[in-house]
Amino acid sequence: MKLYSTNNKDLRVSFKEAVFNSMPKDKGLYMPVEIPKLSKDFIENIENFSLQDIAKQVASALLKNDIEIEALNALVEDAVNFDAPVVKLDDQTFVLELFHGPSLAFKDFGARFMSRVMAHFLKDGEKLLDVLVATSGDTGGAVALGFLGVPNTRVTILFPKGKVSEVQRLQLTTNGKNISAIAVDGTFDDCQALVKQAFADDELNAKFRLTSANSINIARLIPQTFYYLNAYAQLKRQGFDKVVFTVPSGNFGNIGAGSLAYKMGLPVKSFVAATNANDTVPRFLEGGIYETKPSVQTYANAMDVGAPSNWVRIMDMFNENREEINKLVKAYRFTDEETLAGIRELFENFNYVACPHTAIAYLASKFYAANNPSENTAQVFLSTAHACKFPEVFPADILAKVALPTQVQSLKNNPEVYNELGKDFEGFKAYLLQK
Ligand SMILES: *Cc1c(COP(=O)(O)O)cnc(C)c1O
């Protein structure tokens, strides 16, 4: 596939170039010049396919000219090695659980696929690839576990000291091998600023082959289309022909991938974007101007984003036309109090323990369904992370019901290794140079 920049539609780069650069120099985002349509036959019979089969079909529709088919199929099989089940709560309400991967969050889909695509494109004997990533929690774990043991790659993760949960920290600090973690005495923004400075530093660029792993990378977006199609397949098996997806949104990569799946032919009645108080997109879709704001802290902290980086992709797919987006996408915001009430309601009514991001999606899904009654329509909200990653949010009675998945139990047996640094760039640079 060829890609252009959302800021320059005459630009043409290869998939490989887009993967290693993440972002065009003009600060737009890469988008496919042509979005291929999946065949009608495939969509009509999708209930007969597994998640891996669906993933292979989609990957080949997009990437068959970039990666030869046997290699692509092997890569997909290796990347998508866990399930994404749709769990029924009542006759029309379903939760799409995206937390069954190694880091217990949906970001595993993007990170595992991207790491394997990068490894595929790295030729033997080429310079080692150094991935630098700043994380507020979930991204780092997915990238660390996604790249763990991947040949010719090395990952350095910066996280704000004391500001990630225990499970998140263990996912960053217990890996060894090609993964190193740094606790920065500062905030997530400080971590991100250090990474940005490193990318702009001549000496570091001369010595290392640096790349980022953030959510704007096209190789993270593509694999997130797989589970939308696979959810549709599961609901079709249960007799539904109309589906509404509610997506808890921060940088809008997840719902961007849903929109890409829609453009490829996924039948969707609506998408609902659910946000916390960081409501740049709901304000815009309600008729306001598109005005980014500094992020505010909420219980759903993986969605504390005031300037959603993937929103331009959605604008691009809908010809920069808000009316067109409004026909397909609704957006609602919820406060921390409502989020807690949503967690409580899911627990009391369905005996279901959801992370705060998931609870916001539940609330938005319920609100949408109440205001848009529709026969034979499945209301599906996405669960983006396992509750055990956000224990500080839960009241004691619900916390007691949060199960610890096997992935976490094994983490606790490994020693933690990480460096501590201040937020000054010189310290970080010196650390990198002695690697
Ligand atoms: C990253 C993340 C989100 C937000 O996803 P976007 O693609 O940035 O919109 C939501 N929930 C959880 C748990 C996350 O880790």
- Average pLDDT over the chain, rounded to whole? 95
Write out pLDDT tens, residues 63-80.
999 999 999 999 999 999
Which of 384, 388, 389, 390 to mutate for ligand 1's pocket (most ligand atoms within 8 Å of CB)? 384
Query: On the CB side of 415, how many CA atoms lie within 13 Å of its CA?
Result: 4
3 state DSSP class of 87:
strand
* Buried/exposed 187-210: b ≥16 CB within 10 Å, e otherwise: ebebbbbbbeebeebeebeeebbb
Task: Report the predicted TM-score, pTM, of the whole model to 2 decimal places.
Answer: 0.96
Residue 29 near residue 310, CB atoms below 8 Å? yes
Task: State if residue 386 touches ligand 1 by the CB under 6 angstroms criterion.
Answer: no
> How far does the centroid of ligand 1 lie from the alpha carbon of residue 206, in Å?
34
The pLDDT, as a whole number, for residue 270 is 98
> How far does the centroid of ligand 1 lie from the alpha carbon of residue 14, in Å?
27
Nearest in space to 246 (alpha carbons), one of 378, 109, 388, 393: 378
Helix boundaries (H) for 148-199: 166-173, 188-199
Ligand 1 atom 8: residue of nearest CA: 251
Which of 104, 107, 218, 228 to mutate for ligand 1's pocket (most ligand atoms within 8 Å of CB)? 107
> How far does the centroid of ligand 1 lie from the alpha carbon of residue 382, in Å?
10
- What percentage of the chain has pLDDT greater than the value 70? 100
Sign of the CA dihedral 299, 301, 307, 311?
A: negative
Q: Which domain holds residue 62?
A: 55-106+219-406
The pLDDT, as a whole number, for residue 27 is 87
Sign of the CA dihedral 174, 389, 213, 64?
A: positive
Structural domain contains residue 426: no
Structural domain contains residue 315: yes
Task: State if residue 140 touches ligand 1 by the CB under 6 angstroms criterion.
Answer: no
Structural domain contains residue 99: yes
Number of structural domains the chain divides into: 1
- The number of beta carbons lying within 10 Å of the beta carbon of residue 147 is 27
**Token pair of 312, please?**
């331009």
**In this structure, what CATH number is given to the domain that contains residue 238?**
3.40.50.1100
Structural domain contains residue 376: yes
* Gap between the Cα atoms of 94 and 307, Å rounded: 29
Mean pLDDT of 89-100: 97
Structural domain contains residue 192: no
The pLDDT, as a whole number, for residue 215 is 81
> How far does the centroid of ligand 1 lie from the alpha carbon of residue 188, in Å?
15
pLDDT at 126 over 90: no
The pLDDT, as a whole number, for residue 351 is 97
Taking the CA of residue 247 as reference, the ligand 1 atom at the shortest distance is: 9
Write out pLDDT tens, residues 190-220.
998 999 899 999 999 999 999 988 789 999 9
The pLDDT, as a whole number, for residue 128 is 92
Write out pLDDT tens, residues 343-353.
999 999 999 99
Structural domain contains residue 344: yes
The pLDDT, as a whole number, for residue 422 is 97
* Gap between the Cα atoms of 173 and 136, Å rounded: 14
pLDDT at 391 over 90: yes
Nearest in space to 301 (alpha carbons), one of 357, 255, 382: 357
Write out pLDDT tens, residues 97-117.
999 999 999 999 999 999 999
Task: State if residue 101 touches ligand 1 by the CB under 6 angstroms criterion.
Answer: no
Structural domain contains residue 26: no
